[in-house]
A and B are shown apart, each in its own frame.
Chain A
Amino acid sequence: MTRPGNKTASGWENFTVGLKYIPYVNPEHEFLVSVGVQRLFGRSGANGSNGAVLENADSSATIPTLYFAKGLGDVPVGWIRPFMLTGQLGYQIADKKLKVDPDTGTPINNGISNAWFGGLSLQYSLRYLSSQVKDYGLSSFVNRLTPVVELAWTSPASKPTRDATTFLWGIGVNYTADAYAVTVEALIPGNRNTGSHVGVIAQFHLYFEDLFPHSLGKPIAEWF
């Protein structure tokens, strides 16, 4: 990670695991709601000077999260149907709360505050366009692209805190292959707390179930 005024940092962020359940699906209206919880393990990320830049959290945290997704496939206008809106709202519960000196306001431990975070994502699936609306004869590469615009938001939810409300835009494109996906997005500050420079983030996801269809890709019941 490179940020103006800081060293270039490398290494792992804090280890996070998540559990997700989908209690409601409406296929006709392409709508679903899911709930989940993420557990962030403090002090599991990169250490040293680079770790400091990466803000390797000292406190673990639990983050209950609500997700939704709505496709516009039920709209009777062809070019609108490939749009999809997704969103999430989470609440971070810190294990170790930040404490400050009541007289000076200076932090007296390295805890963190509770926080709200959420976001919205608007996507346009060219795969959906070519397979459900109209095949314009675009190449298979183009049909695997999904342009995306996202807005991420965080806000402190307890006092004292060292954080501030932030908004961050992401504008980019996703390419989904059979066994992997690549996403590249420009990160654009949404308010003063997210700086004044445009950044970039790239993600590379591997699908183990497609890479290893005869082991990890099989139902657990068939492993034995």
Chain B
Amino acid sequence: MTRILQLAAVACLISTAAFAHAALDRASPPVGSEISGSPETISLTYTEPVEPLFSTVQVMDLHGQRMDTGKAIARADGRMLEVRLKPLSPGVYTVVWHVTSVDTHKTEGHFTFTVKP
């Protein structure tokens, strides 16, 4: 009996890491990157399609001022969200995203990228 419980315990622990909701697969500009020049848009590609009506992408400067314009537009069969940006001056920008995948699960995350002088 004890051995069964051991295996069950090991099985239970890793399962907390394993779920398959929409995760951010790629971003442009890339996560944590340093880029030259101001990008016109930011695009986030997810591991599964998301619902743009229930998803948001915000880009903020160091003072918390919104640098995105308008709502996120879905592309690539709903796997990509694209948002237009105001002209970005050199500095660090934070991207905060909340998405609802087509199976109704919500996920969120944030990352930064840097515009070099």
Residue positions of A touching B, CB distance < 8 A: 13-14, 16, 27, 54-55, 57, 67, 69, 78, 84, 86-88, 90, 92, 112, 115, 117-121, 123, 125, 127, 130-135, 137, 140, 143, 146, 148, 150, 152-154, 156, 162-164, 166, 168, 170, 172, 174, 176-181, 183, 185, 187, 193-194, 201, 203, 205, 207, 209-210, 213, 217-219
Contact = CB atoms under 8 A, between A and B. Distances in A.
A103 B25 CA distance: 66
Contacts of A187: 10
**Interface majority SS (helix, strand, loop, mixed), chain B:** mixed
A122 B104 CA distance: 29
Interface residues of B, number: 39
A14 B4 contact: yes
Given A174-B14, A210-B48, 10 more contacts: A67-B16, A86-B17, A117-B5, A119-B12, A120-B13, A131-B25, A133-B111, A166-B6, A185-B10, A194-B6
Interface string B81-117: 0000000000000000000001111001111000000
B10 A168 contact: yes
Given A55-B1, A132-B31, A177 B17 contact: no
Nearest to A124: B17
B23 interface: yes
Contact of A148 (B6, B14, B27, B32): B14
B20 interface: yes
B36 interface: no
Contact of B32 (A133, A162, A166, A180): A133
Given A154-B9, A183-B14, A207-B20, A213 B102 contact: yes
A143 B16 CA distance: 17
Interface string B25-39: 111001111000000
B23 A131 contact: yes
A131 B20 contact: no
A8 to B, nearest CB: 15
Identify which of B4, B6, B14, B32 gathers the most chain A CB atoms within 10 Å of its CB. Answer: B14
